[in-house]
Amino acid sequence: MRFCKNPGTFLAGLFVLMSLVACGKTSDVVTLKLAHGLATSHPVHRAMEFMAQKAIEKSDSTLVIEIYPNEQLGNEKESIEKLQLGAIAMTKVSSSMLESFLDEYKVYALPYLFRDDAHRWQVLNGVIGKKILASGEGLKLKGLVYFDAGSRSFYTTGKPVLHPDDLAGLKIRTQQSPMAMKMVKALGGSPTPISWGELYTSLQQGVVDGAENNEPSLFTSNHYEVCKHYSLDEHTSVPDVVVINTLVWSNLSERHKTALREAADESVSYQRQLWREFSEKSMATMVAAGLQVHHPDKEPFRKRSMEMLEEFQGTVIADLANEIEAVQ
């Protein structure tokens, strides 16, 4: 579903939007609700708190961002749909969750898309990254900035994943993302979409044999208590995206647009610093608790994943991948 069309819900959401705008006109104070699914200890949440504080400072306390973490207002897919309807103004989601709405975001799910971190941030902060952020405006999904979400690697309850062949017969949890499912399948595993909130129990009960994510998420979710092997194949580097409803954005005053844009931009640098520090601390804590970290040769994984790109030849995904490869 690219856009929810329930008329009753739409009208209710529209009323919320108009109330926000009216609030700004009558009191010069605009309050924007921002929902996300991460814990308050997560560096991404802390970066959004920083963004909210900067928005207050830059607007003389007339632009307020209220943050609702821990899936309080729904999971990522629900948050996107609520944003489109105007029930919330902003959300932070993985770019993987935007794939169901916009093909352009699918390119970030291609394995080994970026040569290194420097290449990744050249792309995200450059023309290509900004073009993808703007691609959803027709669906009321205006991307503001990217947050670092590191690289995703496999973690398992049983044997470690040292080669793609080790994924054979393993049920690997994925996000509810067709691209993530294709990636796991291409590498040899059995993709099993499960919501983030249900994953700990699913790992504990053997519903799945493992999952794939970055160090901070493995730590804050406590999945390392169940999964004792973390194999750093670093197959994808899927960014997080801060999104705002296009109608909310267009109804902000120029002063508030400037304040929000500057606050969001400044939060990116702060978040990247937090991410590096938190990743190191997370890994040290998990290793001390018994997590075994493995460094497999990435080349077999890279070769096995090439068939995934071939599937998208002639599409916007392949075109964007070629543009990204050409960035120096």
Burial status of residue 262 (CB atoms within 10 A of its CB: 0-12, 13-18, 19 or more): middle
Rounded CA separation 182/18 (Å): 41
Q: Output the pTM of the full model.
A: 0.86
| pLDDT reported for residue 16 | 42
Residue closest to 33 by CA, chosen among 52, 58, 8, 12: 52
Under-50 pLDDT residues of the chain: 1-26
Extract the tokens encoding 303: 């070769």
pLDDT at residue number 8: 37
Helix axes 316-326, 127-134, angle to 10 degrees: 150
How does the average pLDDT of the chain come out, rounded? 91
Instruction: Tell which residue, 88, 85, 89, 91, has the closest CA to residue 14.
Output: 85
Beta bridge partners of 143: 243
Contact predicate 251/152, CB 8 Å: no
Which helix (DSSP H) or strand (DSSP E) does residue 240 occupy? strand 240-245
What is the number of alpha carbons within 13 Å of residue 85 lying toward its C-beta?
Answer: 18
Spatial distance between the Cα atoms of 241 and 145, rounded to a whole number of angstroms: 6
Query: What is residue 15's predicted lDDT score, i.e. its pLDDT?
Result: 40
Per-residue pLDDT reduced to its tens digit, 175-209: 888 899 999 999 999 999 998 889 999 999 999 99
Interatomic CA distance for residues 110 and 182, integer angstroms: 9
Give pLDDT, residue 175.
Answer: 86
Report the half-sphere exposure of 287 (CA within 13 A, side-chain side): 10
Domains contained in the chain, CATH given? 7-148+239-279 (3.40.190.170), 152-237+284-326 (3.40.190.170)
pLDDT for 27 = 59
Q: What is the pLDDT of residue 7?
A: 33
Return the pLDDT at 22. 41
